[in-house]
Amino acid sequence: MPCANGVLDTKWRTSKKMMYLLLTLLLFTQGTAQDLYDRAVKLYQGVDGPKDPYRAAELLQTAAEQGNADAQFMLAVLYVTGDGVPEQVAKAAEWYTKAAEQGHVEAQFNIGVLYVNGIGVRLDFAKAGEWFSKAASQGSAAAEFNLSMMHLRGDGFEKNLQRAAEFMTSAAEKGLPLAQYHLGIMYSNGEGVSRDLVQAYKWADLAVKSPDAGAPDLREFLANMMTSDQVMEAQRMSNEWKPKTR
């Protein structure tokens, strides 16, 4: 900035230097937070040395305070499990919330779980629904499943079987066995969808064939109400099914 006596010019150059230093410090701090998080993960998992959850928790605390969402999430998990820090679910809720507000999908789901159960926070179905909705918008099948159950029961939302079926379908199509099982029941009973035993059997079949299966087996119950051709068609549909990523 030109000036006859050069005073303003000097101040301007000094101001630019300060801005540059502040930006450099900001970038350095963000990098440090990520480095701290990476080191904490290695310590917690025992990579490159013995496991040390206490030192890991210390590093996570520092990184979390610097705004690293992954560190905030992991620190919250430690406060739930009491690993490396005292078990304090209320403290976990604080860190889950901070990470969730930054868009961390797992934190959004977990803080929703705390609200829907009243653990570490006051029971609040509406807030749970808000966080599950945010997680679902990022593709969380587990959040979609919970939203479906909330719409089925009328918890935090007006009871809406059709909306429940939409969420359950989306979660089932992503490969969540529990959602596939419940969607099979919905098709069997005609809840939120038209009654369709072939679709019911298809989803029940997928639910028990999944590597993560833990759902009850509905197939024999359904087969007793179906023709052999219907069962074969349902099995064909199940064999040809491919999960959706979003």
Q: What local confidence, expressed as pLDDT, does residue 244 receive?
A: 86
The beta-carbon contacts of 159-168 under 8 Å, at least 24 apart in sequence, are 160/192, 161/191, 161/192, 162/192, 162/193, 163/192, 164/191, 164/192, 165/191, 165/192, 165/193, 166/192, 167/136, 168/144, 168/192
Q: How many domains does the chain have?
A: 1
Instruction: Please indicate, yes or no, if residue 158 is contained in any of the structural domains.
Output: yes
Instruction: Please indicate, yes or no, if residue 125 is contained in any of the structural domains.
Output: no
Contact 108, 90 (CB under 8 A): no
The predicted-structure confidence for 178-221, as pLDDT tens digits, reads as follows 999 999 999 999 999 999 999 999 999 999 987 776 677 899 99
Q: Report the distance separating Cα 51 and Cα 76, nearest Å.
A: 19
Q: Report the distance separating Cα 211 and Cα 73, nearest Å.
A: 27
Rounded to the nearest 10°, the torsion over CA 150, 156, 161, 163 is -90
User: What domain range includes position 200?
Assistant: 139-246
Instruction: Please indicate, yes or no, if residue 7 is contained in any of the structural domains.
Output: no
Q: In the chain, which stretches have pLDDT less than 50? A: 1-8, 10, 12, 23-30
Q: What local confidence, expressed as pLDDT, does residue 21 receive?
A: 52
Instruction: Please indicate, yes or no, if residue 224 is contained in any of the structural domains.
Output: yes
Q: What local confidence, expressed as pLDDT, does residue 92 receive?
A: 98
Instruction: Please indicate, yes or no, if residue 150 is contained in any of the structural domains.
Output: yes
Instruction: Please indicate, yes or no, if residue 170 is contained in any of the structural domains.
Output: yes
* CATH of residue 243: 1.25.40.10
Q: What local confidence, expressed as pLDDT, does residue 216 receive?
A: 79
Containing 180, the helix (H) or strand (E) segment is helix 177-189
